[in-house]
Amino acid sequence: MLNYDLVIIGGGPAGLAAAISAKDNGIDSILILERDKELGGILNQCIHNGFGLHTFKEELTGPEYAERFIKEVLGRKIEYKLNTMVMDLGKDKTVTAMNREDGLIQIKAKAVILAMGCRERSRGALNIPGFRPAGIYSAGTAQRLVNREGFMPGKEVVILGSGDIGLIMARRMTLEGAKVKVVAELMPYSGGLKRNIVQCLDDFGIPLKLRHTVVDIEGRDRVKAVTIAEVDENNKPIKGTEERYECDTLLLSCGLLPENELSRSAGVDLSPVTSGPIVNDSLETNIPGIFACGNVLHVHDLVDYVSKESTTAGENAAKYILSFNENDSPDRVVKINTENGVRYSVPAFVRPDKMADNLTVRFRVGNVYKNVNLCVYANDTLLQKLPKKIMAPGEMEQIILIKNKLNEVSDLNTITIKIEEA
């Protein structure tokens, strides 16, 4: 049995930022466990620019962004194990992992940070009719093939889903000589950032068809054609709206899911909306000493926000380790309610007596809203009223809760974030 103060599961941008923060806050005994052959996570295959504008005030590619954090980890001599798969996480913070060098290992930790990231929805989760020929890829798999392995998945492409990875791959495939014929999106709005719609579709003349989905895939050995159709308010295809596109490749970019099998096996409470852990203001789950950050907590649109959130998780994990006391009395907890279009919030609970002086609360909305007010209430007292010209599901929103303002409200029992008409 190995012993560490802090074990971080995942060596992507979240795990790296959390490790650096924990080290800087007084924790020396840290171990990062990463299942891939190198640190950096998904950033290693994101060779496009646009990263780091918030964190470093300059535009970087994904590998450049990751390299800056990797250098910080190496400079602090933080331990890590690569090619290591975590098999189990217990409630007592015992981590069971496996690799070729060590075989099966068990690690007892005082605190654990979950930073496993997220995965793409597979075709099996989408209920697309048609055969199962070659040429159907998730957008992330295609990105790895093109950017890391040097393979082109195909030359004539249809993309289902307008998540950021799908939009970026529309541009990437075009730049590599492929013809992207259409991007179809089931919802009445895009799932990606506005800047990606402009830079990846509009700039290359690639059509985006909202409220459309794939209704047929032709081909036995290889994709030959894909048929899309418009859908009604119940997402059922409308007869007579079918459009057939001859192609050899179908890319799926239909959403991301946090990787929470380990969280679930440990008994961590998961949100039915995000599929990620439910956390308090210190990013701690319902199990004391187990924290979560990054895309395993909720899917982010910018890696800069992942790094900032993970820095907070590392700092709070360090505080937990250094000040742990079994006899501490339970904290006063206030729930954050989300209403009128606000789907969820991270954190879902705050501790008014222990929270940071300024707490960032992040969330997404469930539809496109124009010219509205984003309102924050403490009980029935209006704390903030922020005018918003537009809010969309593809862009993460945030508000700042101020500790002093909350503590001015007598008998505080609920905080509510909701959208109101302007």
At position 86, the amino acid (one-letter code) is V
List CB contacts of 176: < 8 A, sequence separation 6 or more.
146, 152
Judged by DSSP in three states, 298 sits in: coil
Report the candidate in 213, 243, 216 with the shortest Cα–Cα distance to residue 231: 213
- pLDDT score at 130: 75
How many other C-beta atoms lie within 10 A of the C-beta of residue 391? 20
* Alpha helices, DSSP H, located in 176-274: 194-196, 261-266
- pLDDT score at 327: 61
- How far apart CA 205 and CA 209 sit, in angstroms, is 13
- pLDDT score at 331: 80
- pLDDT score at 129: 76
Q: Is the pTM of this model over 0.85?
A: yes
**Residues of the chain scoring pLDDT < 50:** none
| The two structure tokens encoding residue 103 | 């075989």
Distances (CA, A) of 105 to 7, 40, 96, 284: 13, 23, 6, 25
Give the distance from CA 29 to its chain's centroid. Answer: 27
Q: pLDDT (tens digit, 9 = 90+) per residue, 170-204?
A: 999 999 999 999 999 999 988 888 999 999 999 99
> Which 8-state DSSP code applies to residue 160?
E
Q: Which residue has the tokens 């879902």?
A: 348
Q: Could you tell me if 134 and 221 are in contact, meaning their C-beta atoms sit under 8 angstroms apart?
A: yes
- How far apart CA 10 and CA 36 sit, in angstroms, is 9
379-385-388-394 Cα dihedral, nearest 10 degrees: -30
- pLDDT score at 326: 67
